[in-house]
Amino acid sequence: MSNSPNEPYSRDRQVDKPGIAGARWWHDSLADQAAQIARRDAIRNILIAGAVIAGFGAMLTMCIKSAATGSSGTPGTPGTPGTPAPLPDDYASIRRTSLEMQKAYGWSFGAIGEPLVFDGVTTKPFQPGALRSLATDLAPTQRSLKRYFQQTLFDSPDAVPSALSKLDPDEATGFQPLAGSVQPIFTPAMDAAYGRGKSLASLFASLREKKLTPASAKAALIVDLPGPEAVAFAAGAASVFDPVFLFDNWPHPRGVVRAQETLSAAAYYQPLFAEARRKVGADEARPAMFVLDRRRLTAYTDDAAQFDNRYVAKLPLSAAEMRALGADHVLYVLPPHTGAQVELDDLNDELVTYAAGGVDVKALELDTFAVDPTGAAAAGARTNESDQLVADSGFVYYGGTRGSHHAFFVDYPWAKPARPATTRPASNSGKTFTPVARTTPYSGGGTAARSVTKTTPTSFGTVPVVIAVGTGIIIGSRFSRSGSWNRASGSSWGGG
């Protein structure tokens, strides 16, 4: 009779007949406790008998201590790593959506005072006050794209909890807004992604040389890279593509998705995004660039040590929606050396649906773009936007050479290349990528009409909280370090 903490009762008898209907339920953990007590008593009795016979008083003490601390391995006993202490009678543990809890009780819900972890902290001057305009500076400019923009992450720095005062005081004391904890980061991986974004943008910008526009290729990007690199790539490409960020979570000190790094990267590149917005008109058609944090589905295993701030991508649901955005082609951008070139599970339904609806879906591993050491010497005067973008990228080219750069629109024949290519990339399996339907915890495996609510595993993106049973009022996080319900007594297990 084991159940999740959220479902502590099990129905073991049921009658459903015309003359009578009813059922009996058992409270699993209490029933288990009774069994534990019976076992403990049995062990104690055996030991006492042994002690009387052999006179090993010291051994008796040790064995009783062993039994009393749950050394039999019975699940749910305090002292087992990751296992919480039993709750008092008046409390119960249930699961609530992580983001809702953070919005109500603060970004650091259950972990107030614990530091955020950042990789790649930089000494670049940084103005926390500018974070307030992130959601504005990083919003898409085209009206048709605004409905897809998820500004959740960008709202987090100065968010004011709506119900913090309703928590147990131990749970609320010391709360500080997230803005004070954000540090700018810059990593080599971000730098490389930025250059590759510039380089890809240069190819679309080159279409102007043929009296076309970047939108003429009728392509949209889905950039699916680790958060900081995704932001960096988008920053590099933002002068040509209209970014649509889909970061639908908040940072947390124990967050399984390190959203704080994505937020910091956004802060780092914020001036570039703001500059790009200033240079383009709101009505200027630019290809859409959906930007995802590839870590959004990171494995989550431990309620006590981790906070489940995962989420699923919310892309346009159909081929018709994509076409309405001017995209007959979709380019799925993957991290370097991804190998398998299989999209993440939560994108499978959409990519398959796009393809079934006639939208051409292809993939691109970012290592297909690489620096050509001879590029700087060979490049001529930077007479146009495309050449300037290549120079700004650090002379990163499609195929890794200047001669192969314009083979991009040969491999992805969505527009006539602006310039000839003298060579082709050695390999690029992305150009033949075709999404294949598969059933996963995040996808249905077909192309039927999609619901806005996606398939997710049980308890996905939720956090255990403690409530007062009588009222249902939330008291705090189940795994808060400060909650009185987690202050276990080593000798009180089993209810004895």
Partner 1 sequence: MKHSVFAFEICAKFEPGGRLHTELRKLVTEAEANPSLQAKWRFYKRAIDELQVAVPLFERGCWDYFDNDARARADYDQWVAGMVTEEGARQQPSGDDPYRGSARYLTWTMAFLMIEGSHTDLAVRRLCDFPDSRLWHRDTFQKILWGLGVLNFASIKSDVSYLIPRDVGWGLTVEDLAQPKFQYLRPLL
CB of residue 12 to partner 1, shortest distance in Å: 9
User: Which residue from 125, 383, 470, 489 is in contact with partner 1, where contact means CB under 8 A?
Assistant: 470
Select 15 or 305, whichever has its Cβ closest to partner 1: 15
User: Which residue from 55, 358, 457, 495 is in contact with partner 1, where contact means CB under 8 A?
Assistant: 495
Coil, strand or helix: which one is 28? helix
Is residue 28 within 8 A of residue 48, CB to CB? The reply is: no
284 counts as binding partner 1 under rule CB under 8 A = no
The residue type of 67 is A
458 counts as binding partner 1 under rule CB under 8 A = no
CB of residue 25 to partner 1, shortest distance in Å: 6
Q: Whose structure tokens read 């527009």?
A: 415
289 counts as binding partner 1 under rule CB under 8 A = no
Tell me how far apart the alpha carbons of residues 137 and 131 are, in angstroms, rounded to a whole number: 10
Angle (CA) 271 276 281, round 5°: 140
Is residue 64 within 8 A of residue 44, CB to CB? The reply is: yes
Neighbours of 487 (CB within 10 A): 9
Q: Which stretch binds partner 1 (CB under 8 A): 18-26, 228-236, 323-331, 336-344?
A: 18-26
Order the strands of the 462-468 sheet from edge to edge: 91-97, 462-468, 474-477
Is residue 234 within 8 A of residue 242, CB to CB? The reply is: no
Is residue 181 within 8 A of residue 250, CB to CB? The reply is: no
Is residue 102 within 8 A of residue 109, CB to CB? The reply is: yes
Buried b (16+ CB within 10 A) or exposed e, 164-177: beebbeebbeebeb
The residue type of 144 is S
487 counts as binding partner 1 under rule CB under 8 A = no
CB of residue 494 to partner 1, shortest distance in Å: 9
Select 259 or 467, whichever has its Cβ closest to partner 1: 467
CB of residue 20 to partner 1, shortest distance in Å: 4
Q: For residue 440, what are its two tokens? A: 């996963």
User: How far from chain centre, in Å, is Cα 344?
Assistant: 12
Select 24 or 124, whichever has its Cβ closest to partner 1: 24
34 counts as binding partner 1 under rule CB under 8 A = yes
Site string for partner 1, 69-108 (x = CB under 8 A): ------------------xxxxxx-x--------------
Tell me how far apart the alpha carbons of residues 91 and 135 are, in angstroms, rounded to a whole number: 39
Is residue 465 within 8 A of residue 476, CB to CB? The reply is: yes
114 counts as binding partner 1 under rule CB under 8 A = no
Select 8 or 236, whichever has its Cβ closest to partner 1: 8
21 counts as binding partner 1 under rule CB under 8 A = yes
User: Which residue from 130, 371, 409, 496 is in contact with partner 1, where contact means CB under 8 A?
Assistant: 496
8 counts as binding partner 1 under rule CB under 8 A = yes
CB of residue 87 to partner 1, shortest distance in Å: 7
Tell me how far apart the alpha carbons of residues 361 and 220 are, in angstroms, rounded to a whole number: 10
469 counts as binding partner 1 under rule CB under 8 A = yes
User: Which residue from 3, 71, 72, 451 is in contact with partner 1, where contact means CB under 8 A?
Assistant: 3
Residues that bind partner 1 (CB under 8 A): 3, 6-11, 13, 15-27, 30-31, 33-34, 37, 87-92, 94, 467, 469-470, 472, 495-496
